[in-house]
Amino acid sequence: MKNNKTVILGLHFGHDAGIAILVNGIPKCNLIRERYNRAKHSFGINVSHIEESLLNAELEIEDIDMIAITSTQAYELVVVDRPKELQIEYGEHPNKKIKSILYNENFNENNNNFNTRLGGSIINNVYCDDLVASRSYKNQFPEYKKVKKEDLGIKKSLRDFAELNFWKQEMGLKDISDLKIKNLLNEKEKSESLFHFPLRVTLKGRSIPGVAIQHHAAHAASAFYNCTSKNSIILTHDGGLLETGPLNGMIFYGESNKILPIFPHHLTIGDLYIRVGNFLGFDYFGAAGKLMGLAPYGKPIFFNEDMVGNTYDLRFRGIKNLRKSWLKNCIKLAKSMGYDLDPIGNCNRILEPICIDIAASTQKLFERTLLQTVESISNICLNNEIDIDTICYAGGTGLNCPANSLLFKESAFKNIYIPPFCDDSGLSLGGAQYAYHHVLDNPSLEISNKSYLSLPYLGLKNSKNSINEAIKSFQDQINIEDNINCEQSAAIDLHENKIIAWFEGRSEIGPRALGHRSLLSNPTYSENWKRMNELKQREKWRPFAPAVLKEDVDMYFSGLQNESPFMLFTGQVLKNNLPAITHVDGSARVQTVTVETGGLFLILKKFKELSGCSVVLNTSFNGPKEPIVEKPAEAINFLVTTKLDVLYLNGKKITRK
């Protein structure tokens, strides 16, 4: 290729769709579709977004060596615009041979056996007339209002990849912990080829080799290839709907540049967690995060140890369906204890005892199931003489901070590594990294601490011209201050108890604001919990997270691992002067800040000088039911349409007139 570069384009078509570009294994950018069409959890790919990403990375279509494709369970490969310019076919490209068990042993695109492995029904739900059944999917794809279904490019996604025969054994978590896997690790040729499949991709007239990558293999890659450890055990899990098999998640072994699938864990706790949130009244997307925030208000009074385990553990105990049995367990106990059941499903009464105690009980069930799973994984390592102190963890369940913290405190693993984009927003990058390292056999990269801490900031660059145009369009409504020390000014504003927005450089990838698209306030004022929820038009009970200088974290929080740069672990608040970020149980979801974070580091330094406190309240810069702000015009519009006090936008201080 040009200048000896190997360029991988990663396309994730499922919810939280995205486009990632790797050059010689190094992430160059990652465009998340929801940030551009302003609809949370959007799916599908736009050719125009591919063009924008390539331009941002200073590349052309001719530079692309391979296209890695992933999707979410049940989501088709949907091309939203100009479908004739992005076409995907299953099968080997004449210029690139890829070893794939499924392709080599089973492929014929007209073969019924292969066709049964293809999936996708979401786009039909979007265009159906049943608004109740399809509402969540319509929200993910607002283009349905303007684009006819027949004008889209739609291809069934490869859902069921190859499997090893011994995966079909009915094993509970204890059985899994006794697995002997040395032969599997010593005879890698087959296991290395299970979770990818060759493609022929035509992009704007150019035929390019492609590879389809299994959903959880891409999750595993997004964690392992961005971890500082060369060898690691890997756990993936999400809200997959099946009761058994690889589609709900896997245990993998990462060694050097390869990721080897070991065994499916058969967990359904991720799906249950979301469904309980739905049961209490939350929308499907967003239910898990809200349930996590609600749980500390209650007591785990309905917890039942018999329901801890995977699908086979439960079946061995006579429990056929975890979701139905868990809710039946909660309601039966609640009735016997005299709870008022009327608040269930009514978000206006979400803080009633029945709701908060179901939430707390479900959280405990989630935590104990996850811990038991990780204990089984630890035993696999012990029994097979695999000396590893790090577990990588990805999939949407990795966003559950209390559970992550429990793993750190009680599991045998010294390090718990979870990427900032452990949800499906990380699949475009994970897929590209899997293609580069695992499929093309390029060596793993040395991940420095600096590159690890800078990992989230992969959004596209905003040009000076786009900033100037945004300012011009709002010029009659705003005041601009240039040539000032914005970090110092922001710290002064926070000390004076103003709520500010901080917009810096390239946006964070993943659902958490990590200092480039953040709303900040002073955590020492208790009213700022209420003020910030009102500003964002969120439920008044929802908590907020602190950002703290890493060097000072032990002064304010206990129970954390060495660092928490991606806001994925909780700690206990040690001081009573941080009411705006202290949850009702005394916990907080902590982000540790270093110089790699950017301007937030300097803000905290100056704020500490002014106030004696090196903690600020940090939440994502977005309005109600909106994705995180991506572009300058969106940031300024937020300022002029809300009660935000100050916006700092790439070196400019902006206020309303």
- So what's the pLDDT on residue 333? 98
pLDDT tens sequence across 573-619: 998 999 999 999 999 999 999 999 999 999 999 999 999 999 999 99
Q: Which residue has the tokens 């794939």?
A: 100
Among the listed residues 629, 621, 353, the one whose alpha carbon sits nearest the alpha carbon of residue 500: 621
pLDDT tens sequence across 486-522: 999 999 999 999 999 999 999 999 999 999 999 999 9
- So what's the pLDDT on residue 1? 46
- Kindly provide the residue ranges of all beta strands, DSSP E only, lying in 194-291, ordered along the sequence: 196-203, 206-213, 231-236, 250-255, 258-264
User: Which of 240-249, 461-470, 645-654 holds the top average pLDDT?
Assistant: 645-654
Average pLDDT over residues 418-447: 97
Percent of the chain past pLDDT 90, that is, above it, reads 91
pLDDT tens sequence across 203-220: 999 999 999 999 999 999
Helix axes 322-336, 269-280, angle to 10 degrees: 50
Q: CB neighbours of 524 closer than 8 A, spacing ≥ 6?
A: 577, 578, 579, 580, 611, 613
State both tokens at 42: 């959007």
Average pLDDT over residues 320-340: 97
State both tokens at 102: 């499924």
- So what's the pLDDT on residue 115? 86
Q: How far apart are CA 41 and CA 38, in angstroms?
A: 9
Q: 45-46 and 77-81: which strand pairing?
A: parallel
pLDDT tens sequence across 57-73: 999 999 999 999 999 99
Q: CB neighbours of 562 closer than 8 A, spacing ≥ 6?
A: none
pLDDT tens sequence across 451-473: 899 999 999 999 999 999 999 99
Average pLDDT, the chain: 96
The answer to whether the CB of 404 falls within 8 A of the CB of 286 is: no
Label residue 109 by pLDDT band (50, 70, 90): low
Q: How far apart are CA 162 and CA 42, in angstroms?
A: 28
- Say whether 335 sits in a helix, a strand or coil: helix
**Does 400 score more than 60 pLDDT?**
yes
**Does 398 score more than 70 pLDDT?**
yes
Which domains does the chain show, CATH number per domain?
Answer: 464-656 (3.90.870.20)
Q: CB neighbours of 168 closer than 8 A, spacing ≥ 6?
A: none
**Does 648 score more than 50 pLDDT?**
yes
Amino acid letter, 133: A
Helix axes 353-383, 287-294, angle to 10 degrees: 100
* Between 191 and 523, the higher pLDDT residue: 523
Taken in order 219, 221, 226, 232, the sign of the CA dihedral is: positive
Average pLDDT over residues 111-123: 87
- For residue 348, how many other CB atoms are within 10 A of its CB? 9
Taking the mean position of all CA atoms in its chain, how far away is CA 174?
29
pLDDT tens sequence across 9-57: 999 999 999 999 999 999 999 999 999 999 999 999 999 999 999 999 9
pLDDT tens sequence across 266-316: 999 999 999 999 999 999 999 999 999 999 999 999 999 999 999 999 999
- For residue 476, how many other CB atoms are within 10 A of its CB? 8
* Side-chain-side CA neighbours of residue 21 (13 Å): 24
Question: Residue 596, class by beta-carbon neighbours within 10 Å (0-12 exposed, 13-18 middle, 19+ buried)?
Answer: middle
Average pLDDT over residues 194-203: 98
Straight-line distance from the first to the last Cα atom of the chain, in angstroms, rounded to the nearest whole number: 53
**Does 240 score more than 80 pLDDT?**
yes
- So what's the pLDDT on residue 108? 65
Q: How far apart are CA 607 and CA 633, in angstroms?
A: 28
State both tokens at 233: 């055990």
State both tokens at 243: 């009761």
Q: How far apart are CA 122 and CA 128, in angstroms?
A: 10
pLDDT tens sequence across 406-417: 999 999 999 999
- Say whether 534 sits in a helix, a strand or coil: helix
pLDDT tens sequence across 344-383: 999 999 999 999 999 999 999 999 999 999 999 999 999 9
Among the listed residues 218, 215, 223, 259, the one whose alpha carbon sits nearest the alpha carbon of residue 239: 215
Q: Provide DSSP, 539-580.
A: -TT---EEEEEGGGHHHHEES--S--TTS-EEEEE--SS-GG
631-648 in b/e form (b: 16+ CB < 10 A) is bbbbbbbbbbebebbbbb
Q: How far apart are CA 615 and CA 546, in angstroms?
A: 6
Q: Hey, what's the torsion of the CAs at 291, 293, 296, 300, to 10 degrees?
A: 10
Q: Provide DSSP, 144-210.
A: GGTS-GGGSEEE-EE------GGGGS---HHHHHT---HHHHH-HHHHTTSSEEEEEEEETTEEEEE
Instruction: Report DSSP state, residue 271.
Output: H
Q: Max Cα separation, the chain?
A: 72
**Does 104 score more than 60 pLDDT?**
yes
Amino acid letter, 522: N
**Does 200 score more than 60 pLDDT?**
yes
The answer to whether the CB of 435 falls within 8 A of the CB of 213 is: yes
State both tokens at 580: 């705006």
User: What number of H helices and E strands is found in the chain?
Assistant: 24, 27
Label residue 185 by pLDDT band (50, 70, 90): confident
Instruction: Report DSSP state, residue 237.
Output: -
